[in-house]
Amino acid sequence: MAVGWRLALACGFLTLGSPVWAANKVDLDYHVRLLPQSDQAEVRLTLAQGSAVRSLDFDLGDGSHYSDFKADGQWQLTPGSQARGVWQPGADKASLTYRVRISHGRNNGSFDSRMTPTWALMRGDDLVPPARLDQQDGVELVARLEFELPSGWKSVETAWPRIGTNKFRIDNPSRLFDRPTGWMLAGHLGSRRTRLGETEVTVASPQGQGMRRMDVLTMLTFVWPQVQAVYSRHPTKLLIVGASDPMWRGSQAAHESIYLNSRLPLVSESGTSVLVRELAQLCGRINDTQRSDWISEGLAEYYAIELVRRAGGMSDERYESLHAKLIKTGQKVTTLRVESASPAQVARAVVLLQELDREIRLKTHNKRSLDDVLRGVMRLENVDTKAFVQLSESVIGDSSKVLDTELLQ
């Protein structure tokens, strides 16, 4: 009887699951031709079966970076400060082609992304803007990205799995519309590679840009065991790109990738590491809401310090000195509830998290820590201050005196 019951249940699951297995797979190919002479890329999206997609509604920002749209099917462009473009593909094989300007300047004369005669450093998020996808039921788009490089350019690097010389598989299970996001680099490059745990790591930069590639790999190798111990998920592939001035003298994490200006020290005079901070952002993938930016920014900065400390790269004396600097930097902060936290607010958030970690360890007799709160936050699609407090108190098993503060009101 038990066997028959299990068999019937299994058959029921097979019946329920069959529409998923029978999904109609349709190829979506991205072709990117880099054009350094005009500081542009020509991007072509090709659907093998246009009828599979009712529409793609693109967010074009202010519209100034995109031009020369040509489409099979219908294309409707709505210009303005919040420009949109809606593509309704033709029934058969259908393509949308446009051009996008690569170099993005900042007010101080530096660049967020840049194209030169010999290399280009950019974000895939700009090559293919975000879009709302309306597709037919039972359709699964299989996306690939291919680059056509200028004559003499040697290679291209992205954070996506390589399936050919200049070709990559784009698959993001968390999104309906698979687009090639993250940092990308093409041209005359120098690169170093290694494997850390289950992650393939590449550090790449244009030749002659002063990127300390082996220093970056050494730092990552040093902290990686601590990263594995703290974070419940790790990228399959990690790309770190860098270039010197006039690229923006900063750092930023994107999809499975990190940008570092090559003139930045890997460890600052204060003892913190921008590389480890961006790695913490990338692994955490925390999406905060309701004026709770202090959570993602504070946790990233906290673990930028903590991972180096746990790896043995920071003495107790240097840790206490850094702690004192954080207290001084954040001493005038009266609230952490803002959309975008300032450096002083991030410093105050780190001090608060350090106090919370001590409270958790004390009340749980060292059985739990802030690491448990972090893992809980990572399981949430979004987190706000109220949810963070509730999660922390569930870890403690009691109310938190540390989080009962006007800073979080």
d(Cα 231, Cα 221) in Å, to the nearest integer? 16
pLDDT confidence of 23, banded at 50, 70, 90? low
Tens digit of pLDDT for each residue in 127-172? 999 999 999 999 999 999 999 999 999 999 999 999 999 999 999 8
Query: What does the pLDDT read at residue 9?
Result: 45
Is the alpha carbon torsion for 203, 208, 209, 211 positive or negative? positive
Assess whether pLDDT exceeds 60 at residue 7.
Answer: no
Q: Are 64 and 81 in contact (CB under 8 A)?
A: no
Q: Which tokens go with 214?
A: 């082996």
Q: Does the structure show a pLDDT above 80 at 15?
A: no
For residues 330 and 347, the answer to whether their CB atoms sit within 8 Å is yes
Is 0.85 surpassed by the pTM of this model? yes
Domains defined along the chain, listed by start: 24-111+120-183 (2.60.40), 188-271 (3.30.2010.30), 286-408 (1.10.390)
Q: Is 81 a residue whose pLDDT tops 70?
A: yes
pLDDT in tens, 309-330: 999 999 999 999 999 999 999 9
User: In angstroms, rounded to a whole number, what is the distance separating the alpha carbons of residues 247 and 318?
Assistant: 31
Q: How far, in Å, CA of 201 to CA of 293, rounded?
A: 29
Q: Which residue has the tokens 């840790």?
A: 319
Both ends of the chain: CA-CA distance in Å? Answer: 59
Question: Residue 127 to residues 92, 102, 131: CA-CA distances in angstroms?
Answer: 24, 8, 12
The percent of residues above 90 in pLDDT, for the chain, comes to 89
Average per-residue pLDDT for the chain: 93
pLDDT of residue 161: 96
Q: What is the CA radius of gyration of the chain?
A: 24
What pLDDT was estimated at residue 269?
81
Cα 220 from Cα 366, distance rounded (Å): 28
- Please report the DSSP string for 171-218 in residue order: --TT-SS----SEEEEESEEEEEEEETTEEEEEEEETTS---HHHHHH
Q: CA neighbours within 13 Å on the CB side: how many for 405?
A: 20
Would the pLDDT of 77 be above 90?
yes
pLDDT at 10 over 80: no
Q: How many CA atoms lie within 13 A of 259 on its CB side?
A: 24
CA angle 335, 371, 341 (to 5 degrees): 25
User: Could you tell me whether strands 155-157 and 183-187 are parallel, antiparallel, or unpaired per DSSP bridges?
Assistant: antiparallel
Helices 343-363 and 293-310: angle between axes, nearest 10 degrees: 70
Ranking 8-12, 187-191, 235-239 by mean pLDDT, the lowest is 8-12
Lowest mean pLDDT among 15-29, 89-103, 170-184, 268-282: 15-29
**144: how many CB neighbours lie within 10 A of its CB?**
20
Q: Tokens 């803002």 map to which residue?
A: 338
pLDDT exceeds cutoff 70 at 13: no
* pLDDT tens string 372-383: 999 999 999 999
Residue 17 clears pLDDT 50, i.e. is over it: no
Q: What are phi and psi of 263, to 5 degrees?
A: -90, -5
